[in-house]
Amino acid sequence: MSLETDVRALESELEDADHTRRRQRSSLWTELGDWLRQPGALLAAPPMLLLALGFLGPLLLVAAFSLIPPKTFDLGGAWTIRNYVDIVTESYWISFAWSFALATVTVILLMLICYPLAYAMTKVFGRAANILTLLLVIPLFVSENIRLFGWVLSLVKGGVLPGAAELWLGLDISGLLYTVPAIVLGLVYVYLPFMLFPMVLGLSMVPDRLREAAVDLGASRWQLFREIELPLAMPGILIGCLLTFILALGSLAESKILGGSAIVMIADDIESAFTFAQNWPKGAALSVLLIVLAGGLVFAVLSRLDLDKILGRG
C-alpha cells in the first residue's frame, strides 16, 4: 500500500518533471516561432542561407586549407602553421608591399580626380550630370580585361597614344607600357566609378543652405571646403576610399596586362599558388593574410572615424 503510494508519488513527480521539460521545449519552439514570425525574418532567410553557403563557407574552407601541410589536399590530416612561417621567411612581403603601395597611390589619385568631378556633378552640371553618369557607367558593361587590352593597344610602342604624342608633341612615351605607372593608370581607370559615385552621394548630402551660411559668415572658397564641405561629405568619401582600396589591393588583371612582368602583386602570387604551383595551402594562407591585413586596416580606419559624429548625430 505504502509502496504503491510511493510509486505513484514518484510517477507523478516524474510526470511533472516531464511536463516541465516539455513546457520548456515548447517555449523554446514558440520563441523560435515568434522570431520567425517577426516581419522580415523569413524574407531574410534565403539571402542569409546564400551568404552562409556561398560566402562564409568558402572563407572558412580557405582558412582551413591554410592550416594543412604544404602541397597537400587532405583536410583530415594534422594541422600546422608551416604555410604562414614559409610566407614570412620567403620574399612574399614584396608582393604585399607592392599591392598596398599601389592601392594607396590609386586611392590618393582617385580622391584628387574624383572630388572636383563629383562636386561638378552635384553642384555645377545640373541635368548634364546624368549624361556624364551614363558615360561613366557604359564602360562597365564591357569586360575589364577587354578594356585593359584597349589600353595596351593605346600604349604599346607605335600605338595610338605614343604615336600621337610623338607626332604632335614630339614626346616619346613608347616605354610607358609594362611599367608601374601603366599599372596605376589601369587601376585608376578601372576603379574610378567606385570612388566617384559614393563621393557624389556624399557631396549631395551637403545642404546648399549650409554653404550659403558659411559664405555669409565670411568663409572663403577654401574655408568653405575645409570647414563645411569636406567634413560633411566625409562619409561618402570614406566609403569610396575603402571600396577602391580593397578592390585595388586584390586586383590582378591590371598588373598582369598593363604591367607585364614589371612587378608582382599579391593577387598574382595567390593565383600562381593555386594554379601553377598546385600549392593550395600556401595560396589559402596568402589569402587569409591579405584578408586579415586589409580587414584590420579597414576596421582601424572605421573605428578612428565616427560616422555618427561626422554626421552630427552623435
Partner 1 sequence: MNSATPATTESAAPILRLQNVDKLFGDFVAVERVNLDIREGEFFTIVGPSGSGKTTLIRMLVGMDKPSDGNILLRGTRINDVPANKRPTCMVFQSLALFPHKTVGQNIEFPLKIRGVPPAERRGRCERLLQQLHLPQDYYGKAVGKCSGGEQQRVALARALAFDPEILFFDEPLSAIDYRLRKALEKELKDIHRETGKTFVYITHSLEEAMVMSDRIAIMRGGRVVQVGTPDEIYNRPRNRFVSEFMGEVNVLEVARDGDRLRDGASGALLQGPAMPEGFTKGFLVIRPEAFRFLNGTADATPNRLEGRLYNEYSLGSRMQYQVHVGGGVFLVEKLREQRYQGQLDDSVTIGWDPAEAMLFEE
| Nearest residue (CB) to partner 1, 181 versus 231 | 231
Where does this chain bind partner 1 (CB under 8 A)?
207, 209-210, 212-220, 223, 227-228, 231-232, 309-314
The most distant pair of C-alpha atoms in the chain lies apart, rounded to whole Å, by 118
The closest alpha carbon to 76, from 65, 63, 86, 62, belongs to: 65
Minimal distance, residue 205 CB to partner 1, in Å? 10
Nearer to partner 1, 57 or 207 (CB): 207
In whole angstroms, the minimum distance from the beta carbon of 215 to partner 1 comes to 5
**Per-residue cell: 189:** 581607370
Nearer to partner 1, 210 or 247 (CB): 210
Question: What is the Cα–Cα distance from 307 to 238, expressed in whole angstroms?
Answer: 9
Number of Cβ within 10 Å of residue 286's Cβ equals 28
Least distance CB 229 / partner 1 (angstroms): 11
Which three cell numbers, joined as nine digits, stand for 160?
A: 595610338
Nearer to partner 1, 170 or 312 (CB): 312
Q: How far is the CB of 110 from partner 1 (least distance, A)?
A: 24
The answer to whether 173 touches 211, Cβ cutoff 8 Å, is no
Cα(280)–Cα(274) distance, integer angstroms:
5
Of residues 54 and 207, the one with the C-beta less far from partner 1: 207
Q: Which is nearer to partner 1, 71 or 309 (CB)?
A: 309
Q: DSSP labels for 60-92?
A: HHHHHHTTSPTT---TTS----HHHHHHHHTTH
* Least distance (Å) between residue 212 CB and partner 1: 6
Distance CA 200, CA 22 (A): 58
Least distance to partner 1, CB of residue 213, Å: 4
